[in-house]
Amino acid sequence: MPRVVECVPNFSEGRRRDVIEAIADEVRRTRDVQLLDVQKDESHNRCVVTFVGTPEGAKAAALAASRRAIELIDMNVHRGEHPRLGAVDVIPFIPIFGVTMEEAVATARALGREIWEQLRVPVFFYADAATKPERRRLPDIRKGEYEGLSAKLGDPAWAPDVGDPKPHPTAGVTVVGARRPLIAYNINLTTDDVEIAKKIARAVRESSGGLAAVQAMGVKSESGRAQVSMNLVDYTQTPVQRAYEAVREEAAKYGAEILESEVVGLIPLDAIVDVARRALRLRDFTRDQILEAKLME
Amino acid sequence: MPRVVECVPNFSEGRRRDVIEAIADEVRRTRDVQLLDVQKDESHNRCVVTFVGTPEGAKAAALAASRRAIELIDMNVHRGEHPRLGAVDVIPFIPIFGVTMEEAVATARALGREIWEQLRVPVFFYADAATKPERRRLPDIRKGEYEGLSAKLGDPAWAPDVGDPKPHPTAGVTVVGARRPLIAYNINLTTDDVEIAKKIARAVRESSGGLAAVQAMGVKSESGRAQVSMNLVDYTQTPVQRAYEAVREEAAKYGAEILESEVVGLIPLDAIVDVARRALRLRDFTRDQILEAKLME
């Protein structure tokens, strides 16, 4: 059985094509790693590189890509709408199969040490790799952004996990961590009334007392429908179907129904298997019974 | 992307362990093929060997295993409960990915010619490889069984598709074909009354006017529940969830509910994806969005 982690580093460059390609090329030329996707966002001035590989391969690819990004990006001239702390803004590792969360955390911590030792960029660990509860969430770590880093690192409570308490002069700070796969999941309602989607979002999201590991907001979909747009940050805590049911029940209070739902980007096989297991009340079903999964062993 | 077919030959030996192992060994030693399972049934006096591989590899493995089976099995002394025509009774090829049904049919036809040319066993083609509508279904081809073969092949309507119209003296005839993956799917009811399961089976199976490509019977489950035991022989015609819903609706007529369901053996990923798509009303979802499926490309 192969050992596979996913790695999704975010770099603070979303406009200069040659810079983005140079960073992606470092991943392409690393052994035991497969580049899956490069997404750039011009208004955020940010790109997201997705690749998979062995933990060792993924760590090597992330280090090589970081080295190149730090050479080519100067945060002192960076402007963009998305909050950020550094040229290599955040590097999450996600265990996919044959790898435990503990191993993903160990990979993140080892990479963090290398980023400091070899590239002289201080590092915070976040999510499952965090060293303190107040460093688990990215928004907390990002508060003050790149421009506020000197002040933030001067506060002993915000000393970096690795490296000197002083930002790199052009690359700032990097946040490295390990987390479960996040599922971007949107539900479109039969109504156009965005206020209903907002009320449902408030009811289902964890931060206002709803479902564990669910982030949600109410927006207008591209087709003009009211949409509950969610991040399921740990589908083992709140499975996709439970989120679906919760939205359905809340919508019913306002006379609305679910029109359709959509998964944005990738979803782990186990999350899909879990939906099928619940929908069919399947007994003793494992992913090994899926022919294609058996072939991957 | 790898090209993969599944091959599930059935041999007329379910008791002599050394014979079964000798047949399976031929598959084990063939290149580009992976043995997944060997199941023997003593009362049927029959074994089922499951393997996957490239079309070329699977054809070579099926030929080698057939050669060995023909050496070791004498149908003149074979007794068993399951209907059969030959030592190598039936060889289905199932397209899994990167292979079309047309290619699976071509593989079956090529193997059939080799079985005649190299092993001198006449061959019928069945299912999607059939040359006439009346040869699509195995029960029709098997009518008369091994003992009736000389008479059957003498009828011009039942001349073999390849080879002389005379059975092999110890190996009879072999049936080779291509078909979609079959899903063995059982639903346990909240009642112990097997008569209810039998009524539901009659209502949902194709042969008595029910759902397309569904075979069903009512039986007692191992735990003593009434069970609707089904073969979904083409889940693109009747998806798993539609079979589930039909049983649920029929059961309701008798005041029964679905307790649980189970998939026996393997199921194709697309069938599971289809269940999730229906359960969540997913829009524009493809299996390429499953991280693990993307890795197999």
pLDDT tens-digit readout, B219-270? 888 788 999 999 999 999 999 999 999 999 999 999 999 999 999 888 999 9
User: Any residues with CB less than 8 A from the CB of A32 and at least 6 apart, and which?
Assistant: A53, A54, A56, A57
Nearest Cα neighbor of B129 from B153, B156, B152, B107 is B107
Q: Is residue A170 part of a domain?
A: yes
Structurally, how many domains does chain B consist of? 2
Nearest Cα neighbor of B178 from B119, B116, B106 is B106
Same domain, B215 and B172: no
Q: Is A230 helix (H, G, I), strand (E, B) or coil?
A: strand
Q: A138: buried, middle or exposed (CB in 10 Å: 19+, 13-18, 0-12)? A: buried
- DSSP states along B112-142: HHHHHHHH---EEEEETT-SSGGGSSHHHHH
Q: Is residue B296 part of a domain?
A: no
Same domain, A167 and A206: no
Residue A296: the pLDDT is: 65
Domain boundary at A178, A210, A234, which? A178
Same domain, A194 and A146: no
Same domain, A194 and A154: no
Q: B interface mutation test: which of A273, A292, A294, A296 has the most B CBs within 10 A?
A: A292
Kindly tell me if the per-residue pLDDT of B18 is higher than 80: yes
Give dist(CA B68, CA B112) in Å, integer: 16
Of B188, B267, B283, the CB nearest to A290: B267
Same domain, A119 and A174: yes
Residues B239, B240, B243: CA angle, nearest 5 degrees: 90
**Mean pLDDT, chain A, integer:** 94
CATH number for the domain spanning A135: value is 3.30.990.10
Which chain B residue has its CA at the smallest distance from A257's CA? Answer: B281
Which chain B residue has its CA at the smallest distance from A50's CA? Answer: B291
Residue B297: the pLDDT is: 58
Q: Is B82 a catalytic residue?
A: yes
ipTM over 0.85: no
Q: Is residue A296 part of a domain?
A: no
Q: B184: buried, middle or exposed (CB in 10 Å: 19+, 13-18, 0-12)? A: middle
Amino acid at A41: D
Same domain, B46 and B133: yes
Q: Is residue B63 part of a domain?
A: yes
Neighbour count for residue B41 (Cβ, 10 Å): 15
In this prediction the pTM is: 0.76
Distances (CA, A) of A219 to A222, A247, B5: 10, 14, 45
Q: Which domain holds residue A165?
A: 4-178
CATH number for the domain spanning B190: value is 3.30.70.670
Same domain, B209 and B256: yes
Q: Is residue A297 part of a domain?
A: no
Same domain, A109 and A199: no
Q: What is the pLDDT of residues B117-155, one digit of tens each?
A: 999 999 999 999 999 999 998 889 999 999 999 999 999
Domain boundary at B124, B149, B178, which? B178
List strands edge to edge, sheet with B226-232.
Answer: B214-220, B226-232, B183-189, B258-264
Q: Is residue B297 part of a domain?
A: no
Same domain, A88 and A212: no
Q: A interface mutation test: which of B6, B189, B240, B291 has the most A CBs within 10 A?
A: B291
Which chain A residue has its CA at the smallest distance from B34's CA? Answer: A295
Same domain, B139 and B217: no
| Residues of chain A found within 8 Å of residue B32, distances taken between Cβ atoms | none
Kindly tell me if the per-residue pLDDT of A222 is higher than 80: no
Domain boundary at B178, B199, B226, which? B178
Same domain, B129 and B225: no
Same domain, B90 and B190: no
